Amino acid sequence: GDSVTQMEGPVTLSEEAFLTINCTYTATGYPSLFWYVQYPGEGLQLLLKATKADDKGSNKGFEATYRKETTSFHLEKGSVQVSDSAVYFCALRSAYNQGGKLIFGQGTELSVKP
């Protein structure tokens, strides 16, 4: 079945460091891919998404490119801030179930130190 694998956390960075959180997926066809962010004690917020191969999603300085050849959707940010500290979830939605459920990775906790 479809699945998402993220790099394990926690990831600890200094402010202004470069961030990469790896995400790979297994799915048939061309699923839609998402990154969600969860701040402590809150629900999930959509950070960015991509719906077809080679699409780049971007928001708030974060970027991720849909790579079909490597089945990856790695999250990057050039300069992190303390306020970026949160848990980041990679997720996919099957190409064959557009209104259906999301499949989440295990989440990666990011801690940014001043």
Binding site residues, another protein, CB under 8 A:
32, 36, 41-46, 89, 93, 98-102, 104-107, 109
Minimum CB distance to another protein, residue 44 (Å): 4
Tokens in use for 112?
């940014």
Minimum CB distance to another protein, residue 22 (Å): 16
Minimum CB distance to another protein, residue 45 (Å): 7
Minimum CB distance to another protein, residue 16 (Å): 26
Residue ranges of E strands in the chain: 3-6, 11-14, 19-21, 23-26, 32-38, 44-50, 56-59, 62-65, 75-77, 86-93, 103-104, 108-113
Q: Which is nearer to another protein, 10 or 78 (CB)?
A: 10
Q: Which is nearer to another protein, 62 or 89 (CB)?
A: 89
Helix, strand, coil abundance in the chain, percent, nearest 5:
5, 50, 45
Q: Which is nearer to another protein, 41 or 114 (CB)?
A: 41
- Distance, in Å, from the CA atom of 9 to the CA atom of 101, rounded to the nearest integer, reads 25
